[in-house]
Amino acid sequence: MKRIKRILAGAVAGGMLAGSFGLTASAAGSYTAAADPSMQYQTIEGWGTSLAWWGKVVGGYSNRDEYADKMFSTTSGIGLNVLRYNIGGGENPSLNYLEYRKAVPGFQQTQGVYDWTADANQRYMLQAAKTRGANVFEAFSNSAPYWMTNSGSVTGASGGTNNLKTDYYDDFADYLTEVVKHFRDSWGITFKTLTPLNEPVSTWWSLGNNQEGMHFDRANQNTILSQVNASLIAKGLTGTKLSAPEEYSVDDSSVSYNSYTNAVKSAITQINTHTYGGTNRAAFRNIAASNGKTPWVSEYGDGDASGLTMSRTILKDIRNMGVTAWIYWQAVDSADGWGFFKNVLNSTQTTSYTVNKKYHVMGNYSKFIRPGYKIIGMSDANTLAAYDAASSKLVLVTTNSAATDTSVTYDLSKFTTTGSSAAAYRTSSTEDLAQLSNVTVANKTFTANAKASSVTTYVISNVTYTGTTGYPSTAIYKLVNKNSGLVMDVNGASTANSASIIQYTDNGGNNQRWKLVPAGNGYYKIQNVNSDLLLDVNQSSTAGGTSLIQYQDNGGYNQQWLPVDAGGSLTLVNRNSGLTADVNQASTASGASVIQWADNNGTNQQWTLVKVN
C-alpha cells in the first residue's frame, strides 16, 4: 500500500544515506575498484516506472508530451523503457473513498459492458512512452471491478481479508485478459507480462482506503494465477506471460512463490517483487535462478529526494538479486521526495512540476546502462559495472553517500583493450547529471574524485574482452571470510564423509583449498582439494543454523551453490535451501562452525576467493 510505504520509508530515509543496507558508504581517503569481465551476470532489460497513478492525471495535461519526453526520450530525457500499466478495477459510483489521482477508471464499470473509451489519460501516456522508445510493457491490477468484490468497493474488504467473491475468480481473469487482448488487437500494445496481484498477502487493503487494493491469501493467489493463465491460453495471448507474486517484501515474495503448486510455478515466467521490505535477497535470486525465471524489481519508492537512498537500493537489488529490470514506483508524485517530479496531481490542472535530484540520479543509470548490457564483476560495493560487447562500452556508476570526497582508482586491467578516456556525468547537490571533463585512461586505469553525496557515471568506449567467463575448472581457491579473515576449512583435514566445515587460520593445507565445479544455471559444486568431497548442507536441511559438512557427490541441490557478487567478495547461496554459507554468530575465532543462514548482508556471510595456483 503506497500510503503506508511512505510512512515507513520516509521515516527511515534520513538514516539510510551512509552505510545503508549493509553496503559500505565510501569514506574519506582513496581506494581501488577493479572491474572483472570474466564474471558476467544478468543482461539488463531496462529501467522503468508505473503509470499508476500519475498517468491518469498527467495524461490530461496540456504539457503531457513534455513529461513524456523527460521520462522516456533517450535524447531529451532519461530513457526509461519499461512501463507498468495499471488496469483499473473501477470504483462503485455510490462511494467516494478514492483520492482523485488514485481513481483509475475501469473498462467494465457495468457487468458485461466494456467501455473502451475509459482511462484515456493513462493510455495516452502509455502510447507516448512507446513512441519515445519504451518497449517493455507489463499490465497489473490493484483490484477487480467493484461488482466482483465482497465489500462492493475496490478499496478492500473490511479487516483486510480476501475481497474477490469466490464465484468471480474466472470473471476477474476474463476481465484482465480481455483488456490485454484489446490492447494488442486495437491499440498495438503487447504486454510482455500480466499480473493480477499487488502486495496480495498484505492486510492493509481495507474498506475505506483511498486507493484500490485487494488481499489474496496464498491459496487464493494460486487460484487466481491459475485462472489468469488459463484465460491467456484460451484467448491465444501467447505473447503475454504470467508474472507474480508482487509482494511488498522480498522475503514475502519468496514465501508466496514457494507456496504455489507446481503447475502455477511452471506458468509463471517472471518472478516480481517489491523491495520496500525484507532482507533475504539471496533466497529470491536463488528461486529465480534455480527455476529458470526472470527476476524483476517491479516496484520500489522512497521519500529521499536526493536519490542517494534509491541509488543504494539499485546497487543492492541489481547486484544481490540479479534482476533484469528495475522499476521505480511513480515517476511523478504529489508527496515530497517520492517522485522524480513533484506535481499536485489533483483536479486543478496545475501542470507545473518540481524536479527532484533523484530524477537525475535515475538518469545516471538509465541513460547509460541500456538494454542488452551485462552486469559484470566489480570489487567495489559502491559501484555498479555493466559492459556491452556489441558497442564496446563499459559503464561504471559510483555512489558516494558520505559527507566527504573520495578518490577512486578504477582498475580495468582484466579487459583486453580499453579506450583512452572516460566520459563522466555527475549528480550532486550542485550538479544535475552534469557532463564533466573527460578523464584520461592510461595503462587500463584511471583515477577520479567521487564527490561527497554524489552519483557519478563513467562511460569508457573501445573496450573489448576476449577472455573466458566464469570460474576456471582447474583453478584452486581459498575462501577467506570477510568478517574474520579466516579461511573455510575441513575440520582436522578429514577425508571422511560428514566431516564438519569450520573457519581456521590459513595454514596452506589442502583441506583449506577448494575448486568450483560448474553444475549448470550459474551454480557450482565446491570441491575440497584434500578430500575431493563437496561442500554440503547436512541432511539436505532447509533450516537456518544447519551445519555445513563435506560429502561425496550425490547430485543433490544441497551440494550446489550460487556465487553472488557482494562487491569484492561473494555470498554463497545454497540451491536447495536458499540460505547462505555463514560463520556462526559472526565469530572471529578459529574453529567456529560454518552454517547456513538467511541472507542478512553480514560480512560473516561474505567470502573472498583467492586463487592459489
Cis amide prior to 53 (ω within 30 degrees): yes
Distance CA 13, CA 356 (A): 15
Going by C-alpha positions, the residue among 108, 91, 599, 126 that lies closest to residue 331 is 126
Going by C-alpha positions, the residue among 291, 153, 151 that lies closest to residue 210 is 153
Q: Phi, psi at residue 316, to the nearest 5°? A: -70, -45
Write the secondary structure of 304-366 as one string of H (helix), E (strand) and C (coil).
CCCCHHHHHHHHHHHHHHCCCEEEEEECEECCCCCCCEECCCCCCCCCCCEECHHHHHHHHHH
Going from the C-alpha of 255 to that of each of 251, 269, 283, 380, 586, the distances in angstroms are: 6, 17, 10, 31, 26
Candidates 199, 212, 246, 247; catalytic one: 199
**DSSP states along 148-195:** GBSSSSTT-BGGG-B-B-GGGHHHHHHHHHHHHHHHHHHH----SEEE
Going by C-alpha positions, the residue among 561, 576, 566 that lies closest to residue 514 is 561
Say what the alpha-carbon torsion angle 381, 386, 392, 398 is, to the nearest 10 degrees.
Answer: -50
Angle at 494 between CA 490 and CA 499, to 5 degrees: 65
Find residue 490's DSSP bridge partners. 501
Distance CA 60, CA 331 (A): 16
Return the sign of the alpha-carbon dihedral for residues 393, 136, 270, 20.
positive
Distance CA 288, CA 276 (A): 19
Length of the chain: 613
C-alpha cell at 257: 512463490
Find residue 333's DSSP bridge partners. 342
User: 3-class SS at 10?
Assistant: helix
Angle at 539 between CA 538 and CA 545, to 5 degrees: 50
User: 3-class SS at 292?
Assistant: coil
User: 3-class SS at 557?
Assistant: helix
Distance CA 242, CA 266 (A): 10
Specify whether 199 is catalytic.
yes
What is the bridge-based pairing of β-strands 421-427 and 434-435? antiparallel
Going by C-alpha positions, the residue among 602, 408, 574, 594 that lies closest to residue 488 is 594
Give the number of other Cβ atoms within 10 Å of residue 534's Cβ.
25
Give the number of other Cβ atoms within 10 Å of residue 210's Cβ.
16
Specify whether 299 is catalytic.
yes
C-alpha cell at 263: 503447475
Cis amide prior to 597 (ω within 30 degrees): no
Active site residues: 199, 299
